[in-house]
Chain A
Amino acid sequence: MATSVFALEPLWLALLLQALAALLLFLIGAVVVGYLEHKVLAHMQDRLGPMEAIWHGIGQLPADGLKFLQKEDIIPTAADRWVFALAPAVAVVPGVVVIAVLPFGPGLWLTDLDAGIFFALAASGVTVLGTLMAGWSSANKFSLMGGLRGAAQLISYELPLVLAAAAIVIQAGTLSLPGIVEAQHGFTLFGVPMIYGIPHIIGLGLFFVAALAELSRPPFDMPIADSELIAGHMTEYTGMRYAFFMLSEYAGMVILSALATVLFLGGWYPWPGVGLPEGAAGMVLGFVITFAKILVLSAIMVWLRATFPRMREDQLQRLSWSVLIPLGLLNIVLVATAKVWF
């Protein structure tokens, strides 16, 4: 198995490069997915979206970023200053951390943890702490309700997410993300090389739905519900702090899409059994393939957003506890049985 390209000497150089790469991937991923959302959403709504910034609006998000920078940073008088100021950071940091374990191509990961998948899921779950902190500290009832809804939602949906991932872990026999990709590479279904997503269609569905809910993406955007809670926990935020929340949302899309890619769609291989060339060419190709898969998944998230109204809080809780979680458990049983059988 390949080792990370960042396994360099001396250590400080490796660490520096890793930190830089994680930040860069985080930003680029968020911006690209953000642009994708702008454009796909616009076209689905019979309009063009941003068109002015550079060419077809590709400069829109960087321009927005600059605009956010210039905005006044307002902290409400009644707010809990420290918690309020920290919340956006708490929302962003897990995203950067999770990037560290995600494989974007052969050897293109910052570090390969033995329990990579659980590290990723656990760390991405921290994001909601930011939501909760923001909701609590804003001294705004709408924010508070948004924060609480967000927390409740996370608790219910973390479970199906983990259950869906657990089935894959059983299948692959490893918790390491690059390990899963390699295991998937050698996977065959009745002799035909196959991505996990096809036999594990239930798991894929579960994972995707739970990921949407984790991200508070429509149709699970009750915590933000702009028509009732204004912007949920982000109501009182302005300028860069607000931008951080937006960044963390888009980065969250990248991360969960990347996880789904690794778990269900064969990671950086175009198809299990189809290899990549050795060396740098393979790395670039692998990176492109991974990113393409991520974008497709993100586009589907946007597509859902363009089409569906949001579910009510009690409905989405019921969906999780009485449909998704039993389904997730059943899925594990099925996978385990099948694994022992074959």
Chain B
Amino acid sequence: MSETLPHEGGVILPGGPGEAMSVEIRDGGLVTQEMNLNIGPQHPATHGVLRVVIDLDGEVIVRARPVIGYMHRGFEKLAEARDYRQIIALVNRHDWLSAFCNELGVALAVERLMELEVPERAQWIRVLMSEWNRILNHLMFIGSFGLELGAITPVFFSFREREDIQSFLESATGGRLHFTYTRVGGLKEDLPAGFLDASRQMAATMRSRNDEYRQLLLGNEIFQARTKGVGALAPDVAVDYGVTGPTLHATGVAEDVRLSEPYCVYDELDVKVPVRTNGDSYDRFVVLLDRIDASLDLIEQVHEGLPAGPVNRKMPKTVKAPEGATYVRTENPLGQGGYYLVSDGGKTPWRMRMRTPSFSNIQMVPELLEGSLLSDMIAILGSVYFVVGDVDR
């Protein structure tokens, strides 16, 4: 690019002000110039404040570089000055779409350090909540992916379902997005009467609604043309970048913490991990839909098997994790969450490090973007599932 950007006549031209634009022909073709384009930090495709700097040759992306950090809120540092109850309220918030799964991860880490046995019923309810949270999360991405491709209806449908699910989750947790329902040693309180009925009913509705999404998008030829073969991710690249969750499953790797390192009562349940093989946007989307069905299966198993009993154990007034360190992995909706907790025995952690799935996912994005079309960028960014808050923390 030229050193100074002339702002005459609107568009930046080669040559500078006053000079005529020359057309150069070399090797039998028109010589073109790359254009540098900032996608974001405020841009509809980045859902959040992510910035992607891309160099365009016509409509083809030559280089792409995600710039993160616009939403850095210092969660990890803040956690060092907050006690465990407060941390649970905090980790609700960095990935606002996986609130429950995050609070669960923190609680599990503290419980492991304290060597606490959590009551059976609490563990089952934790699974139930995690799976509903997973569905909530996936619905969000199903809707927004359609929106990014220009189909404006799916987002309304998926928010309709989200509303319904949130309503009954609210009856148990008091929150619609930030549940703050987990406590070290169990849960805040037991489910209110009628919750399981609502949950059963919603599970049935959700199944039929999930078919509606398939009907609306999957079969659609335009949708297929926009997504099939677009942004295909190779399994080894995915593994190298530490990509997890649905994005990884779409490449054919079935790594899932719920299977490989089960927490709560996942080992007693029949966890299905839907896998596709192409790794393109289409497969990533299909995996999302299939994961909703798999989560519904789990939810139904919890409905069947939920034992009676307390959901809490007696805890000291201030929770103090004994000295030591632990690393807990959970399968969050977007991929693997890791919680590395170092405690010096005080009531706040000495260090709290979080591994978030979105970070790895966004890290891999240049691999997919380079060489694709600008319009495909939307299909790729929309299907490499990430939440900016989860990237920046």
> Does A pair with B?
yes
Residues on A close to B: CB < 8 A? Answer: 41, 44-47, 77-80, 83-84, 136-139, 141-142, 144-145, 218-219, 221-222, 225-228, 230, 305-315
Among the listed A80, A139, A311, which residue makes an inter-chain contact with B226, where contact means beta carbons less than 8 Å apart? A311
Interface of B is mostly: helix
Q: Is the CB of B9 within 8 A of A305?
A: no
Smallest Cβ-Cβ distance to A149: which chain B residue: B59
Contact with A along B149-163 (1 / 0, CB 8 A): 111110011001000
Taking the closest CB of chain A, its distance from the CB of B302, in whole angstroms, is 29
Taking the closest CB of chain A, its distance from the CB of B50, in whole angstroms, is 14
Q: Is the CB of B374 within 8 A of A309?
A: no
Q: Is the CB of B44 within 8 A of A226?
A: yes
Q: Is the CB of A228 within 8 A of B222?
A: no
Q: Is the CB of A309 within 8 A of B217?
A: yes
Smallest Cβ-Cβ distance to A138: which chain B residue: B10
Q: B216 contacts the other chain (Cβ, under 8 Å)? A: yes
Complex Cα–Cα for A203 and B390 (A): 52
13 A-B pairs (CB sep. < 8 Å): A139-B11, A139-B12, A145-B374, A227-B149, A227-B150, A227-B378, A228-B44, A228-B378, A307-B216, A308-B150, A308-B220, A309-B220, A310-B150
Smallest Cβ-Cβ distance to A228: which chain B residue: B378
Complex Cα–Cα for A271 and B152 (A): 36
Q: Is the CB of B10 within 8 A of A225?
A: no
Q: Is the CB of B222 within 8 A of A45?
A: no
Among the listed A41, A47, A142, A309, which residue makes an inter-chain contact with B223, where contact means beta carbons less than 8 Å apart? A309
Known contacts A80-B10, A228-B44; 18 further A-B pairs (Cβ under 8 A): A46-B160, A136-B10, A136-B11, A145-B374, A218-B150, A221-B150, A222-B375, A227-B45, A227-B148, A227-B150, A306-B152, A308-B220, A309-B151, A309-B220, A309-B222, A310-B222, A312-B225, A312-B376
Q: B172 contacts the other chain (Cβ, under 8 Å)? A: no
Q: B314 contacts the other chain (Cβ, under 8 Å)? A: no
Of A44, A45, A144, A230, which is in contact with the most chain B CB atoms at under 10 Å from its CB? Answer: A45
- Which parts of B330-378 form the interface with A (CB within 8 Å)? 373-378
Interface residue tally of chain B, by bracket? 35 or more
Complex Cα–Cα for A80 and B9 (A): 5
Q: Is the CB of B152 within 8 A of A305?
A: yes
Q: Is the CB of B156 within 8 A of A139?
A: no
Q: B26 contacts the other chain (Cβ, under 8 Å)? A: no
Complex Cα–Cα for A225 and B148 (A): 9
Q: Is the CB of A312 within 8 A of B373?
A: yes
Contacts of B37 in A (CB 8 A): 141-142
Among the listed A139, A230, A306, A309, which residue makes an inter-chain contact with B149, where contact means beta carbons less than 8 Å apart? A309
Q: B35 contacts the other chain (Cβ, under 8 Å)? A: yes
Complex Cα–Cα for A57 and B216 (A): 28
Task: Given A45-B157, A227-B378, verify A309-B150 contact (CB < 8 Å).
Answer: yes
Q: B67 contacts the other chain (Cβ, under 8 Å)? A: no
Complex Cα–Cα for A270 and B226 (A): 41
Complex Cα–Cα for A310 and B173 (A): 39
Task: Given A46-B160, A313-B373, verify A308-B222 contact (CB < 8 Å).
Answer: yes
Residues on B close to A: CB < 8 A? Answer: 7, 9-12, 35, 37, 43-45, 59, 146-153, 156-157, 160, 216-217, 220, 222-223, 225-226, 373-378, 382
Task: Given A46-B156, A47-B156, A309-B146, verify A139-B10 contact (CB < 8 Å).
Answer: yes
Smallest Cβ-Cβ distance to A221: which chain B residue: B150
Complex Cα–Cα for A1 and B337 (A): 77
Contacts of B220 in A (CB 8 A): 307-309
Inter-chain contact count A-B, CB under 8 Å? 100
Taking the closest CB of chain B, its distance from the CB of A226, in whole angstroms, is 6
Interface of A is mostly: loop
Contacts of B156 in A (CB 8 A): 45-47
Among the listed A44, A84, A142, A228, which residue makes an inter-chain contact with B377, where contact means beta carbons less than 8 Å apart? A228
Of B12, B157, B375, which is in contact with the most chain A CB atoms at under 10 Å from its CB? Answer: B375
Complex Cα–Cα for A131 and B217 (A): 30
Q: Is the CB of A45 within 8 A of B10?
A: no
Complex Cα–Cα for A138 and B12 (A): 11
Smallest Cβ-Cβ distance to A318: which chain B residue: B225
Smallest Cβ-Cβ distance to A42: which chain B residue: B156
Contacts of B375 in A (CB 8 A): 222, 225, 228, 312-313
Q: Is the CB of B45 within 8 A of A228?
A: yes
Complex Cα–Cα for A137 and B225 (A): 33
Contacts of B149 in A (CB 8 A): 227, 309-310
Contacts of A226 in B (CB 8 A): 44, 150
Q: Is the CB of B43 within 8 A of A230?
A: yes
Complex Cα–Cα for A308 and B9 (A): 37
Contacts of A314 in B (CB 8 A): 59, 373
Taking the closest CB of chain B, its distance from the CB of A149, in whole angstroms, is 9
Q: Is the CB of A311 within 8 A of B153?
A: no
Among the listed A78, A145, A310, A315, which residue makes an inter-chain contact with B10, where contact means beta carbons less than 8 Å apart? A78
Contacts of B222 in A (CB 8 A): 219, 308-311
Smallest Cβ-Cβ distance to B216: which chain A residue: A307
Taking the closest CB of chain A, its distance from the CB of B151, in whole angstroms, is 4
Taking the closest CB of chain A, its distance from the CB of B280, in whole angstroms, is 14
Q: Is the CB of A83 within 8 A of B153?
A: no
Smallest Cβ-Cβ distance to A133: which chain B residue: B10
Complex Cα–Cα for A184 and B225 (A): 39
Smallest Cβ-Cβ distance to B9: which chain A residue: A80
Task: Given A78-B7, A309-B220, A312-B375, verify A225-B160 contact (CB < 8 Å).
Answer: no
Of A44, A80, A145, A310, which is in contact with the most chain B CB atoms at under 10 Å from its CB? Answer: A310
Smallest Cβ-Cβ distance to A308: which chain B residue: B222
Taking the closest CB of chain B, its distance from the CB of A315, in whole angstroms, is 6
